[in-house]
A and B are shown apart, each in its own frame.
Chain A
Amino acid sequence: EAGVTQFPSHSVIEKGQTVTLRCDPISGHDNLYWYRRVMGKEIKFLLHFVKESKQDESGMPNNRFLAERTGGTYSTLKVQPAELEDSGVYFCASSQPPDTQYFGPGTRLTVL
């Protein structure tokens, strides 16, 4: 069974540009999460989908971040416009049931 996949693995963009990250969860997992690790610090929760609905987006830093999960399958996280402090590793995770989350390899975002 395929694990959680994320694309791209790395992205380097300039401040002010837009970037879209994609996550494909494990097939059949209704729960999908986004997390972020900045500057070697702790991994922080961004948001949680149940199928296509946002269950909790309390961790989203600001309105420059937009997450979607069309049809309850894959999810995208768009950052527009990107700022320097958005640099970090963005992880996606999925679970079914909700208690054990399986993570993808992450997308390393560098904003110059």
Chain B
Amino acid sequence: GEDVEQSLFLSVREGDSSVINCTYTDSSSTYLYWYKQEPGAGLQLLTYIFSNMDMKQDQRLTVLLNKKDKHLSLRIADTQTGDSAIYFCAVWGGYKLSFGAGTTVTVRA
């Protein structure tokens, strides 16, 4: 199956930008997603990007896709305490999603 790798932890100061990175193995993936899981909650779809795009911006979120390197990143501008959560990178292939292990983002004052 698809391998999706993410760093496990990220600590960022409030107001700074956060960058969460993800690498994947299947170059034929057509959709790539970022999900957010807050404590005690389910997975919230944050944003997604089609594989024919390089970048997508949605308010404070910027997704960058480098298909050559199979690298996906999520940048959160002006990180707030409410952004503390686990962020999962997911790749869609043939109906099912392949997820990374999740990056736990901690926002410190």
Contact = CB atoms under 8 A, between A and B. Distances in A.
Interface residues of A, number: 26
A33 B96 contact: yes
A106 B43 CA distance: 8
B42 A40 contact: no
A48 B99 contact: no
Interface string B18-59: 000000000000110001000001111100100000000000
A106 B78 CA distance: 30
A10 to B, nearest CB: 11
A43 B96 contact: no
A55 B95 contact: yes
A1 to B, nearest CB: 14
B35 A45 contact: no
Interface string B72-90: 0000000000000000101
B31 A105 contact: no
B4 A103 contact: no
Nearest to A50: B95
Contact of A103 (B42, B92, B100): B42
A8 interface: no
Contacts of B92: 99
Interface of A: 4, 6, 31, 33, 35, 40-45, 48, 55-56, 59, 91, 93, 98-106
